[in-house]
């Protein structure tokens, strides 16, 4: 078993240098990191563009999105934020680009009912 020269405490120099550097830890939530452009966070739905083809519902791996017809040409999306796996396959499947992935990742809630969101073209977003 041949080795080159060995040293005890090889990391000593590096470790002492690190002592005087700023720690690598991000002090969340005081400091926050910005997510990159293509990051797949919470979904955003544009009800005016939706045509109700249900392709997003068919392709979702976890049945997290449902499209309901409210009236002729008016659709509502019901998204389960705890079922969604944030894969953005629905974003790709939509032929009218009515879905978009945002960079929002702070989705924790204390009440599980708040994790089901309804988005429609009405005057307010019902939660």
Partner 1 sequence: MLNNLLAILLFPGFLFLSIFGLVAEYADRKIYARLQNRVGPPIFQPLADFIKLIAKEEIIPTDANPTMFKLAPLFALTAVVTAIFNIPLWNTGALFSFTGDAIVVLYLLTLPTLCFFIGGWYSSSLFARIGSVRAVTALFSYEVPLFIGVLSSAMLADSWSLSEMAVFYEKHPWFWLFNLLGFGIALTALLGKLEKGPFDIPEAETEIVAGGFTEYSGRFLAILRMAIDIEMVVGASLLAAVFLPFGLNSGPVLGFILYVVKVFFIVALLSLMRTIVARLRIDQMIEFCWKYLVPLGMVQLLINFIIKGVILQ
Partner 2 sequence: MSEEEKEFRIPIGPQHPALKEPVSFSLALRGEKIMGVDVRLGYNHRGIEKACEERTYIQDVYLVERICGICSHAHSTCFVQAVEEIAGLEVPKRALYIRTLIGELERVHSHLLWLGVAAHEIGFDTLLMFTWRDREVVMDILALLTGNRVNYGINTIGGVRRDIRGEDIKEILKATDILEDRTKYYIEVATQETTVINRLSGVGILSHEDALKLGAVGPTARASNVARDIRKDDPYAAYGEMDFQVITDDHNDVYGRAVVRLKELLESYKMIRQAVGNLPEGPIAVKAPRKIPAGEAVSRYEAPRGEDMHYVKSNGTDKPERVKVRAPTLANVQAVRHMLRDRYLADMPIVVAAIDPCFSCTDRLISIDRQDKNTTEVIEWQALRAYSIEWYKKRGIDFSKLGRSNA
Over the window 2 to 21, marking each residue x when it contacts partner 2 by CB under 8 A and - when it does not, the resulting string is: -xxxxxxxxx--xx------
User: By CB under 8 A, is residue 112 in contact with partner 1?
Assistant: no
Q: Which stretch binds partner 1 (CB under 8 A): 24-32, 37-45, 72-80, 118-126?
A: 24-32
Closest to 64 (Cα-Cα) out of 42, 40, 84: 84
Say which entry of partner 2, partner 1, none residue 123 contacts (CB below 5 to 8 A, set by partner kind).
none
Nearer to partner 2, 69 or 96 (CB): 96
- Interface positions, 65-104, toward partner 1 (CB under 8 A): none
DSSP string, 45-97: E-TTT-----HHHHH-TT--EEEEEEETTEEEEEEETTT-----HHHHH-TT-
H or E segment to which residue 71 belongs: strand 65-71
Torsion of CA 95, 101, 102, 105, to 10 degrees: 160
* Candidate residues 43, 56, 60, 84; the one interacting with partner 2 per rule CB under 8 A: 60
Residues 6+ apart with CB under 8 A from 114: 127
Which partner from the list partner 2, partner 1, none does 86 bind, CB cut-off 5 to 8 Å by kind?
partner 2
Instruction: Give how many residues touch partner 2 by CB under 8 A.
Output: 30
CB of 106 vs partner 1, minimal distance in Å: 22
């Amino acid at each position: 078993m041949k080795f080159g020269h060995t040293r005890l405490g090889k990391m000593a120099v590096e470790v002492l240098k690190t002592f005087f550097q700023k720690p690598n830890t991000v002090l969340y939530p005081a400091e926050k990191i910005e997510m990159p452009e293509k990051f797949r966070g919470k979904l955003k739905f544009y009800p005016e563009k939706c045509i109700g083809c249900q392709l997003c519902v068919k392709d979702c791996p976890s049945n997290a999105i449902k499209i309901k017809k409210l009236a002729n040409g008016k659709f509502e999306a019901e998204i389960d934020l705890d079922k969604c796996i944030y894969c953005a396959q629905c974003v790709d499947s939509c032929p009218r680009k009515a879905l978009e992935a945002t960079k929002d990742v702070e989705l924790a809630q204390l009440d599980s009912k708040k994790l089901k969101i309804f988005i429609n073209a009405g005057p307010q977003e019902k939660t």
